[in-house]
Amino acid sequence: MNYTPQEIHKNERLSIYNGAFSIIIVGFITNFIPLFAIEVLDASNTQVGLISSLPSIMIILSMIPGAIWMDRFESKKKFTAINILAARFLFLLLLFVPLIPLANQAWVLVVMIAVMNFPIAVSTLSWQSLIGDLVPDERRGQFFSQRGRILTIVGMITTIAAGLMINLFDSNDPYPFQALFIVGFLFGLAEIYFLMKHIEHGEKSEKNQEGMFKTIFKTFKHKPYLYFLVCACLFNFGWQMAWPLFTIYQINYAHANALWISIFTVLNQVAQIVSYKWWGKMADKWGNSTMLFVCAIGMTTAPILTILTKNLYVLALSNLWTGLFVSGTTLLLFNQVLRVSPNQHRTSYLANYNLMIAFIGCIAPQLGVLLLDYLGMIKAMSISSVFRLLGGISFLFVVFYFENNSRNKKKLVKASV
């Protein structure tokens, strides 16, 4: 259903407000969960790895039922809000983790993080489908780059404020984390409020006569989507493999405290702020796949630069450099999955994409921790870089082979008419 320019503008503005409160919760809570686990709950390397990988299992379990449930709702907006509320309430319950017996604390945290990612995954899927309806294709590049810059600024301020507060207390003191869990829940209510203010034309989803499973399997027959999915999975394997490794290296090897974790995050976000607009322009000029190759090359350098030093100042500069490519990666991956997903049954295409990336997220962090235990940090990080590089090359292969062939075929068809 079409929206007027005024409605589109209002929805874009509300989406920025909604996203700002969402990113505040990430800055208050998500960025410091590994520190909370290691310093307060004395979590092991395996448990830190599970904090990265178990949420992906919940995403896998949630995608199919989430897509089916969403199709039964007339309003994607309301469905998204219900799941966000459930997720934020579970965040609030984290404040009780330090109150349980010490031997079980880290494992309870691992389980709770996994469980809360069920409604988070469902809300992400429904939000992606909703925003794909509300923002037309020709507006997405400009809007998401602008939205990304604003949200990154908000996240940067929030993260440094939270880090400074946590740093005022002993590293093993749970009280500052518990305070952030409460404040994060309150901001979650504001996040839901601005979501519900969006203008959504009530239109019940077209009933899928084939069934959700059959429709998801049919997505593999859509070649532009399939090519992108293969490349994205390969790249994400190398990307997510190093996620727990960065955390373990920064805290256990370089001995970073909450303030330094905040500095790393903020510098990464500063780089994202200044580069979002540039990536959007370059994607319009050269195409998403081409620029994803460039991003992948930059992301390939991150693990290598990290293991070169334990100097916190140099690691901070490394995070500044990496942020230049993180912004492009997140922006272009999201734009591309929307672009290659047909409007009809878009939810199924998004569900399948999230499902496959979540499957990668299950095994990649655990493999990273396994490589760390058996081969050491240097080799584990190096292997992550290799997979990132292969993913980037695959994006370039799509450009030169598949996308160029598609353009040539279209030209031949026009010439024969």
User: To the nearest whole percent, how much of the chain has pLDDT over 70?
Assistant: 92
Mean pLDDT along residues 165-191: 88
Distances (CA, A) of 236 to 131, 329, 364, 415: 23, 10, 8, 40
pLDDT digits (tens, 9 = 90+) for 55-106: 777 877 887 787 777 777 778 889 999 999 998 998 889 889 988 877 788 8
| pLDDT at residue 249 is higher than 90 | yes
Give 125-144 pLDDT, tens digit per residue. Answer: 888 888 878 888 777 767 88
* pLDDT of 152 above 50: yes
- Is the pLDDT assigned to residue 199 strictly greater than 50? yes
Q: Cα–Cα distance between 168 and 259 in angstroms, integer?
A: 9
* Residue 203 resides in a domain: no
In a domain, 342, yes or no: yes
Is it the case that residue 286 has pLDDT exceeding 50?
yes
Range of the domain at 148: 5-197+218-411
Q: What number is the average pLDDT over the span 229-256?
A: 90
pLDDT value for 417:
45
For residue 31, tell me if it sits in a domain: yes
Band (216; pLDDT cuts 50, 70, 90): low
Q: Where does the pLDDT of residue 402 fall: very low under 50, low under 70, confident under 90, or very high at 90 and above? A: low
For every residue of 22-85, DSSP letters joined together read HHHHHHHTGGGHHHIIIIIS---HHHHHHHHHHHHHHHHHHHHHHHHHHHT-S-HHHHHHHHHH
The residue among 330 and 345 whose pLDDT is bigger is 330
pLDDT band at 404 (very low <50, low <70, confident <90, very high): low
Q: Kindly state whether residue 206 falls inside one of the protein's structural domains.
A: no
- Helical H runs in 242-376? 243-248, 258-286, 288-307, 312-339, 346-375
Let me know if residue 210 belongs to a domain. Answer: no
> Residue 213: inside a domain, yes or no?
no
- Would you say 193 and 85 are in contact if contact means Cβ atoms under 8 Å apart? no
CA distance 77 to 325: 31
Residue 416 has pLDDT above 80, yes or no: no
Contact between 139 and 5 (Cβ < 8 Å):
no
Q: How far apart are CA 255 and CA 37, in angstroms?
A: 15
Q: What is the DSSP string of 128-185?
A: HHHHHHHS-HHHHHHHHHHHHHHHHHHHHHHHHHHHHHHHTS-TT--HHHHHHHHHHH
CATH number at residue 224: 1.20.1250.20
Which DSSP category does 204 fall into?
P
Domains: count for the chain: 1
- 417 domain-assigned: no
Q: What value does the mean pLDDT of the chain take? A: 83
